[in-house]
Chains A and B, each alone.
Chain A
Amino acid sequence: MNDRNKWIIGGLGLFALVLITFFLLSGGNENQSSKTANADEDSDRSIRSTAKSLFDDPEFADAPTPEDEELSQAESLWPMALEKKPDNREKIKEEWRDFAAKYPKNFYIPKAMRPARTEAEEKAAVQALDDFTAMDASIASDLSKNKWADAGSTPGAEPKKPAPAKQKAYFDFKINELESRIQMVEYWMQNNGVNASDKANAEKDIKLWRKELATLEEVRSQVPKS
């Protein structure tokens, strides 16, 4: 093979490589034409996927919709975020109204569904949150410390005795929440077509919670008055 032939073969090889590269990078003419064919669909998709179509009065309303390539990524990574959620707010408020009529003192009823609180009551609610979470964090800390304690190990020293009123407020919060939780789950089971598995889980939980409730009530009764 002479030099000239070598260069011809080399050139043809290079040409083939360039062609392959072109096909790899462009995705081929077929993809290109399908891209064109899908242009209208992409445009519809972009309109459907704007923040204004998905959210009510979104923050940064002028933020541009992600570009097509990013939109494709979003469809793959966060498909649920691109779905418009049905507006069930009125239905949910109605649900709460019905529930509140049956259980007016239930812990979980939102503020908006309760009679307005006075300033003093609101202040008391803030204090109750402070007291409850402080006690709860302290108990959690002790649990965490001893979670993996060896069998046979003894618990640490008795903690500093809290003010009885604070301890009673903690139990009041726990008991109120637990009773309310049971009411809510029972309401769900009565008013919704609960499947067998959920029903079994709920019944098991209610049984445990009732036991826990009895323990909490028993301990609360031991808290001194002052």
Chain B
Amino acid sequence: MEKKFAISLNFSLKFLDTGSKTRRNDTNGVNVLNMFRSEDKMKKIIAIGSFIALFTTLPVWSQTQAEMFQKVGVIGDSLSHGFFGATVEKKTQDWAYPVLVSKQAGASVSYNVLKGPFVNLEDVLKWNCGVICIASAIIGGNVSTVSLPTHAGITGAEYTTVLRTSGKCADITATKQEKQWYWATWYWYTYRWVTVADCQEPDKFHQFGLRDAGTQAQIMEKVKPTFLFGTAGANHVLCTALHTSTDCLDEARYKRDIREFFRRMTAMGSLKGGVLFTIPNVTAIAYLEKYTDPNGRANYSGLKAFYRSSVSDPNQVLDATEISNITNFLTMLNNEIKAQGATLRFAVADLKVIFDDIKENGRPLKSASGYTPGNARANWPLPNQPGMFGLDGVHPNMYGHSVFANELIKSINTRYGFAIPQVSEYTAWYYDSLNRNPVDLKGFLTESIFGQVISWVISIFT
């Protein structure tokens, strides 16, 4: 891109240079009138030159975008997979941010289409999904498959699983000792211990999402993308919010695995560009709400899960110290993402900053004609209140993904000088069933299925 721009600039400068030569000749000629005529001519030449330069440059720009998006690869987690309280299915996969951004950039991605596991809580609570539907969704499966998906983002993944979990094995590096009988000599049949692969079945999202194509990293190495959606950092820290505990934080593993992943991506040699994003503040998601202990105990006060009616143990809240530890971890995690982005010369969208702003001020939502239903909140939609999240309070809804996509598009356009068109956020909101018919979740907390949905969400992101 920079090279093309340099060509265009150089072309214009040559015209400017021609003009300055003309001016020098005329100055030597002493004739003042001729000098004015020459300057007039020079201006015309510059104008035509600039015009031609602009036209000759435009196709080059678009070609560069086409080149960069020639083959799009996606790795990631529930955000890229399109997990939506609490399942993955065709419609939610289709509205996920990498699919939107790729389509807007004139490219496409392919993926195994899922029909579960688990359930779409919105459909259940709106009576669109009954016994048969819930049962089949819990089992899950594929609607359609591809032999080598270019979009390999999987719910529950993080950089460790990107490297180690395939559709067949939970950890492709795991080994075990096995007794092997053999002939030690021609007269002695005995045994020895050998190390063999220990392939345990992975979770269903990996089974149905990756099938027999390998791990996410292996898939990218086979796809050899020119453009990469490469963020899988959220689950290294989201676990703290879902478990109200900081036990799962592991800086050494995170750094080791993100670095190894990008080392392998660089070694492929196919990448021309990519996009990463920083992870929003997980302690500010709708899943958590403020709680103050009526007895004033500091370790019983802080942030609790939104569905919890009371706190009977310090483990059920994130207290001030834990929130501070998570904030520090998040800063480290995001700094690493920014550093990787800088090294690879990728676009990096600072979604941490953007979501902090949305949490504080909401997201402006306006039609082309100027109509507004009010700013959207970083929560699930409520009556008379647009919202960006699904009913688990963690994952974006259809409208939320359009916001996500636009922030990535802005970042890609800025980084590479493209003009990928934005997604109409108003249109996404207008057709978002959860926004147009909100579910007041607090009225359903004592539905038995709600407790199980929470259990699934918690278990997926361990």
Contact = CB atoms under 8 A, between A and B. Distances in A.
Contacts of B248: 141, 144-145
Contacts of A91: 130
Contact of B132 (A79, A130, A191): A191
A163 to B, nearest CB: 10
A200 B184 CA distance: 43
B180 interface: no
A125 interface: yes
Contact of B438 (A59, A144, A148): A59
B61 to A, nearest CB: 14
A188 B316 contact: no
Contact of A89 (B94, B127, B131, B136): B127
B128 interface: yes
B436 A55 contact: yes
Given A73-B424, A148-B253, A130 B131 contact: no
Interface string B65-98: 0000000000000000000000000110011000
Contacts, number: 223
A23 interface: no
B247 A80 contact: no
B131 A187 contact: yes
A179 interface: no
B453 to A, nearest CB: 10
Interface string B1-33: 000000000000000000000000000000000
B423 interface: yes
B436 A51 contact: yes
Contacts of B141: 197-198, 201
Interface in A126-178: 126-130, 132-134, 136-138, 140-145, 147-148, 151, 173, 177
A125 B250 CA distance: 36
Contacts of A109: 448
A36 B132 CA distance: 47
Contacts of A212: none
B431 A144 contact: no
Given A58-B437, A177-B452, A78 B316 contact: no
A198 B128 contact: no
A211 interface: no
Nearest to A185: B135
B132 A74 contact: no
A122 interface: yes
Given A64-B367, A202-B139, A59 B437 contact: yes
B450 interface: yes
A44 interface: no
A129 B242 contact: no
Contacts of B128: 85, 88-89, 92
A138 B285 CA distance: 20
Q: Which of B174, B427, B450, B454 has the most CB of A within 10 A?
A: B427
Sort chain B's interface into a size bin.
35 or more
B445 interface: yes
B315 to A, nearest CB: 6
Given A17-B51, A138-B315, A147-B462, A132 B451 contact: yes
Nearest to A58: B436
Interface string A46-82: 0001010011111110111111001101101111111
A67 B368 contact: yes
Given A95-B131, A141-B248, A130 B309 contact: yes
A53 B40 CA distance: 62
B305 A133 contact: yes
Given A76-B103, A108-B448, A145 B427 contact: no
Contacts of B452: 107, 177
Interface in A207-224: none
Nearest to B315: A138
Contact of B369 (A64, A85, A141): A64
B429 to A, nearest CB: 8
Given A60-B373, A108-B134, A126-B446, A140 B308 contact: no
Contacts of A129: 307, 309, 445-446, 450-451
A128 B253 CA distance: 36
Contacts of A134: 308, 312-313, 315-316
B432 interface: yes
Contacts of B427: 66, 70-71, 73-74
A78 B431 CA distance: 8
Given A141-B248, A185-B135, A63 B95 contact: no
B430 A63 contact: yes
Nearest to A178: B452
Nearest to A194: B136
B34 interface: no
Contacts of B423: 73, 77
Given A59-B436, A70-B427, A187-B131, A143 B462 contact: yes
Contacts of A117: 446
A118 interface: no
A65 B315 CA distance: 48
Interface in B163-187: 174-175
B175 A151 contact: yes
- Sorted nearest first, the 9 A-B pairs with minimum C-beta distance are A188-B135, A92-B130, A141-B243, A144-B248, A144-B462, A81-B431, A58-B436, A125-B446, A66-B427
22 contacts: A51-B430, A59-B381, A59-B438, A66-B430, A77-B94, A81-B398, A81-B431, A107-B452, A108-B131, A117-B446, A130-B309, A136-B454, A137-B242, A138-B315, A141-B462, A144-B243, A144-B462, A145-B248, A151-B175, A177-B452, A187-B135, A202-B139
Interface of A: 10, 14, 17, 20-21, 49, 51, 54-60, 62-67, 70-71, 73-74, 76-82, 85, 88-89, 91-93, 95-96, 99, 107-111, 117, 122, 125-130, 132-134, 136-138, 140-145, 147-148, 151, 173, 177, 181, 184-185, 187-188, 191-192, 194, 197-198, 201-202, 205
